Structure 1
Amino acid sequence: MNQLTIRSVNGKLLADSREVAEMIEIRHADLLEKIKGYIQYLLNGNFRSSDFFIGSTYKDNLNREKPCYLLTRNGCDMVANKMTGEKGVLFTAAYVTKFTEMERQLSNLHVPRSLPEALRLAADLAEKNQMLLIQAEQDRPKVLFADAVATSKTSILVGELAKILKQNGVETGPIRLFSWLRDNGYLISRKGTDYNMPTQRSMELGLFEIKETSISHSDGHVTINKTPKVTGKGQVYFVNKFKDEQQLA
């Protein structure tokens, strides 16, 4: 059984779904489908799916962006609880051990050796906690949005996505967003019949779908109008991407 790596990301301890899939010896794609089902059940039960699974991406050997999930300890518990036999026991033992080791390492990073040092550390922690509370309040609309549409089958127009982004603090409009999507390889930029249509990469990531509408003209001929629409997964993807870019700016 392969080793499991636990990472600390923004104060959360997380495991990569690719490593989890290797440990329990199933295809990563199959684990992703299982997790999508778990997320739907969680949302139906009014639980925050991000307390268990956090959507993410990685680059494969061909430099293509592929989906994955980061699992919290609760997420690993959920996966393990669905397993039986030796594989389930070994996976449970592995992730419990790794999470415990990581928690111990983080708790032992610094131990104050005097009262003044302890007071300074307490003040620093209080300040950090306050900053985290402020950040959590700022992120709350984005988290609620992500939970609401993560498994949604309703797609929206790019102009509607621009409105959602603006509600989440991104200053943009439909024209600027279309331009950004073309410049960054999500929509086709070359002039022609496929102008502003999703690129192959966007379709493979499941960010867009194409809505076809038949238009009957007065002379009897029929034309097909194609419109790119952003999927529920695409809506979460772009909100998170713009949020990350703002943090890096």
Structure 2
Amino acid sequence: MNELKVFMFNGRLVTDSREVAEMVEKRHSDLIRDIESYKEVMDQNAKLRSDDFFLESAYQAGTGKSYKCFMLTKLGCDMVANKMTVEKGILFTVTFVKKFEAMANFIQSGQRGQTISTKEEFEMQLIGARYASEILRLDTTSNVRMLETVHEQHGVPTSHLPVYVDEEVTLRRK
């Protein structure tokens, strides 16, 4: 099973349905279908709120096309795990319980800071930086500085970005 990422989304700890699908070795479209059927049943009962389990969202594929996904709360992960075969369900449950617990402990310890930001916020800021760069026709150094700022705001390492040093160049005449 792959690494599961837990993050804040609309003030709640969640994980992305795409990661869940990959982790449980299921096609994402099939998991979406399953989640929609769970939601349909829950929404028919006035005592249940499907958004306590699943928060509808979307992502943009590399082609630019937008697709539906869901953010799963811990309860949503429980629901998915309970519908799986015994072995896969156990492995997934152990993984997601550990991840949600670790993130909850991290937040409660007061170390939240800016390292917990949604992927969507980060991606939107990167897109904004790209558009600003194109509109303002910024030079490479300015682009790198803008990218560094966005990365630092979200606690993302910048080791993959080029390093530019501010130096004043003076010419010496002979």
Q: Same fold (TM over 0.5)?
A: yes
| Equivalence map 1:34-183=2 (5 Å) | 34-46=34-46, 47-109=48-110
Q: Are residues 1:3 and 2:27 paired?
A: no
SS at 1:56's partner residue? strand
Q: CA deviation at 1:27?
A: 0.3
Larger Rg: 1
Deviation at 1:8, TM superposition (A): 1.0
Partner of 2:15: 15
User: For structure 1, which segment, 92-101 or 42-51, has the greater mean C-alpha deviation from structure 2 after superposition?
Assistant: 42-51
Give the counterpart letter for 2:24 in structure 1: I
- Partners of 2:86 and 2:74 in 1: how far apart? 20
Amino acid at match of 2:82: N
Q: Distance in 2 between matches of 1:102 and 1:27?
A: 26
Instruction: Tell me by how many angstroms 1:85 deviates.
Output: 2.5
**CA displacement at 1:87 relative to structure 2:** 1.1
| SS of corresponding position for 2:2 | coil
SS at 1:2's partner residue? coil
Q: Distance in 2 between matches of 1:12 and 1:4?
A: 16
Residue identity in the other structure for 1:15: T
Letter in 2 for 1:7: F
Deviations 1:208-240 (A, max 9, x none): xxxxxxxxxxxxxxxxxxxxxxxxxxxxxxxxx
Q: Percent identity?
A: 46
Q: CA deviation at 1:86?
A: 1.8
Cα distance, 1:44 vs structure 2: 1.0
Which residue pairs with 2:30 in the alignment? 30
Shift of the alpha carbon at 1:45? 1.5
**Residue 49 of structure 1: CA displacement?**
1.1
Point out 4+ residue stretches in structure 1 off by more than 6 angstroms: none
Task: Give how far 1:84 is off.
Answer: 2.2
SS class of match (1:58): strand
Give the TM-score of the pair, scaled to structure 2.
0.61
Higher relative contact order structure (alpha carbons within 8 Å, sequence separation ≥ 6): 2
In the alignment, residue 54 of structure 1 is paired with which amino acid?
Answer: L
The AA in structure 1 aligned to 2:13 is: L
1:92-141: CA deviation from partner (whole Å, max 9, x where unpaired): 0000000000000000016xxxxxxxxxxxxxxxxxxxxxxxxxxxxxxx
Unmatched tracts of structure 1, length 5 or more:
111-249
- 2:137 matched residue in structure 1: none
**Whose strand proportion is higher, 1 or 2?**
1
The Cα shift of 1:30 comes to: 0.2
1:10 positional shift: 2.9
Partners of 2:10 and 2:80 lie apart in 1 by 23
RMSD: 1.0
Task: Name the count of aligned residue pairs.
Answer: 110
Alpha-carbon distance in 2 for matches of 1:56, 1:100: 23
TM-score normalized by the length of structure 1: 0.43
